[in-house]
């Protein structure tokens, strides 16, 4: 149900019945490797094009999430998915394979939490028994589409981010055992005039702040409610900016209480990932692989995942437009509850 202006409070305890996280070789060398269900050693996944590789990962994540939930795909009412590819082809084509009624969404790298929020909403309102939310990205598809083909070998500035090769899927159910989705806040589009597609973190940080402020305004609570507030993929530059903004806007979020999926994915000392990870698959695999496991173990009780997205296209950049950004937030809590 509506809470405040832009948020939903889920009162029927929609459950995260299962999650699956599939990643590529670089992510398998990072500190979260053990939390992923499948680590591909070959970044092509045996396919003849990068786009097909990305789609294969998405299908794997979806099928594994369904299997872990002990369901068949015929039981899943709706599949809510999207990705960074033009015409969200990775998810549209995975939806063709799965034949589950499909709602395509697009929120760039915020797609993960846009999908999870809508999935929880549909289950909470009795509009579905089971909903799957999924998203993915592949380093080579995204670099090729938004910047340069990886084969070109162009150099990157230190503010650039490294697109995660990974796919995440989650099954939300009206009953069962698992972490509970309790709240969501849907973000506005915020544009601070930044035009550099090699500095997404700086562009996205104000959108994340806007959604976090909206969340606490709508729920009339403060950051102490959460053990962890984790942004999607602000990486080094954006996460430093947002922490400065927390102080400026008088949001009492302790550095130990904040993290960013783009910082968590790689070992930035040893891996060449510039400012850190990004991509729709970043927040999806870190949340569905790593964070959900910590909630299941009771190491985290309440988290707020704030997935951030830059809504630019190469064409808007070429036409001189700045980068509009958005962030969507979802609260996931240990089933033991408050």
Q: Where along the sequence are the contacts to a copy of itself (CB under 8 A)?
A: 1-2, 5-6, 8, 49, 51-52, 77-78, 82, 85-89, 92-93, 95-96, 99-108, 114, 118, 121-122, 124-129, 186-191, 214, 311-316, 319, 321, 324, 326
Supply the minimum distance, in Å, between the C-beta of residue 168 and a copy of itself.
18
- Pick the closer one to a copy of itself by CB: 113 or 292: 113
DSSP string, 119-150: HHHHHHTTS-SEEEEEEEE-HHHHHHHHS--G
Supply the minimum distance, in Å, between the C-beta of residue 143 and a copy of itself.
14
Strand partners, 230: 259, 305
Supply the minimum distance, in Å, between the C-beta of residue 204 and a copy of itself.
13
- Pick the closer one to a copy of itself by CB: 8 or 216: 8
Supply the minimum distance, in Å, between the C-beta of residue 94 and a copy of itself.
9
Size of the chain, expressed as the number of residues it contains: 338
CA distance 282 to 264: 9
Supply the minimum distance, in Å, between the C-beta of residue 43 and a copy of itself.
18
- Pick the closer one to a copy of itself by CB: 70 or 188: 188
Q: Residue-wise over 161-176: b if at least 16 C-beta within 10 A, else e?
A: bbbbbbbbbbbbbbeb
CA distance 98 to 79: 9
In 10 A of CB 103, how many CB atoms? 18
236 neighbors 204 (Cβ within 8 angstroms): no
Supply the minimum distance, in Å, between the C-beta of residue 91 and a copy of itself.
9
- Pick the closer one to a copy of itself by CB: 257 or 316: 316
CA trace torsion 222, 225, 227, 233 (10° rounding): -50
Q: Residue-wise over 211-226: b if at least 16 C-beta within 10 A, else e?
A: bbebbbebbeeebebb
Of 192, 287, 180, 184, nearest to 231 by C-alpha is: 287
- Pick the closer one to a copy of itself by CB: 94 or 292: 94
- Pick the closer one to a copy of itself by CB: 33 or 43: 43
- Pick the closer one to a copy of itself by CB: 39 or 131: 131
- Pick the closer one to a copy of itself by CB: 85 or 263: 85
- Pick the closer one to a copy of itself by CB: 292 or 323: 323
Of 89, 86, 78, nearest to 169 by C-alpha is: 78
CA distance 65 to 314: 33
Supply the minimum distance, in Å, between the C-beta of residue 131 and a copy of itself.
10
Q: Residue-wise over 296-324: b if at least 16 C-beta within 10 A, else e?
A: beeebbbbbbbbbbbbbeeeebeeeeebb
Supply the minimum distance, in Å, between the C-beta of residue 121 and a copy of itself.
6
Backbone angles phi, psi at 218, to 5 degrees: -65, -40
Backbone angles phi, psi at 97, to 5 degrees: -65, -40
């Amino acid at each position: 149900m509506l809470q405040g202006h832009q948020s939903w409070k889920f009162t029927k305890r929609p459950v995260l019945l299962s999650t699956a996280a599939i990643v590529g070789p670089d992510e398998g060398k990072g500190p979260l490797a053990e939390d992923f269900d499948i680590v591909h050693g070959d970044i092509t996944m045996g396919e003849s094009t990068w786009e097909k590789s990305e789609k294969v990962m998405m299908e794997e994540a979806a099928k594994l999430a369904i299997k872990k939930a002990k369901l068949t795909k015929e039981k899943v009412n709706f599949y809510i998915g999207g990705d960074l590819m033009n015409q969200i082809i990775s998810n549209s084509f995975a939806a063709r394979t799965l034949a589950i009624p499909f709602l395509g969404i697009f929120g760039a790298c915020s797609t993960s939490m846009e999908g999870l929020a809508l999935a929880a909403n549909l289950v909470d309102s009795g509009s579905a028994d089971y909903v799957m939310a999924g998203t993915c990205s592949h380093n080579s598809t995204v670099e090729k589409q938004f910047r340069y083909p990886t084969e070109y070998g162009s150099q990157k500035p230190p503010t650039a981010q490294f697109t995660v090769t990974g796919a995440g899927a989650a099954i939300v159910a009206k009953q069962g055992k698992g972490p509970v989705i309790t709240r969501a806040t849907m973000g506005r589009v915020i544009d601070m005039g930044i035009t550099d597609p090699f500095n997404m973190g700086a562009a996205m940080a104000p959108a994340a702040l806007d959604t976090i402020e909206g969340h606490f305004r709508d729920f009339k609570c403060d950051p102490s409610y959460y053990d962890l507030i984790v942004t999607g993929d602000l990486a080094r530059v954006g996460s430093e900016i947002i922490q400065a903004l927390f102080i400026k806007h008088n949001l009492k979020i302790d550095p130990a209480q904040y993290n960013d999926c783009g910082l968590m994915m790689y070992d930035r000392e040893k891996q060449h990932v510039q400012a850190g990870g990004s991509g729709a698959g970043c927040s999806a695999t870190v949340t569905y692989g790593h964070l959900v496991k910590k909630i299941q173990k009771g190491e985290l009780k309440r988290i707020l995942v704030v997935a951030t997205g830059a809504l630019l296209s190469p064409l808007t950049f070429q036409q001189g437009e700045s980068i509009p950004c958005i962030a969507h937030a979802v609260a996931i809590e240990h089933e033991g509850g408050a």
